[in-house]
Amino acid sequence: MSERTTRAQLDALARHVSSLLPAATRVVSEGRYGYTALDVERESDGNWSPTRSLTSGTKSEVYRYLRGMLEALWLADLTEAEL
């Protein structure tokens, strides 16, 4: 039997990915119509507002999407360091 992705795991990964993004930008997950949505938010004047919805699906699907973002950020950092 496969292990289920918890909301706490998903939120922790979203915080980790957000820590690697430019300042005043973060990704957040939230429940929406029985599914989990992943949005990009930007900070302006101390207020966070959504700028784009990235994906929605089950917690496991959104977790895999975030893992892909983490890998892409790591590869981008590696490539930049080699230039």
Q: pLDDT truncated to tens, each residue of the chain (83 aa)?
A: 468 999 999 999 999 999 999 999 999 999 989 999 999 999 999 999 999 999 999 999 999 999 999 999 998 887 766 65
pLDDT for res 20: 93
Domain that holds residue 43: 7-82
Q: Specify whether the CB–CB gap between 66 and 17 falls below 8 A.
A: yes
Rounded to a whole number of angstroms, the CA Rg of the chain reads 14
Look up the pTM and report it: 0.86
2 in a domain, yes or no? no
34 in a domain, yes or no? yes
Total domains in the chain come to 1
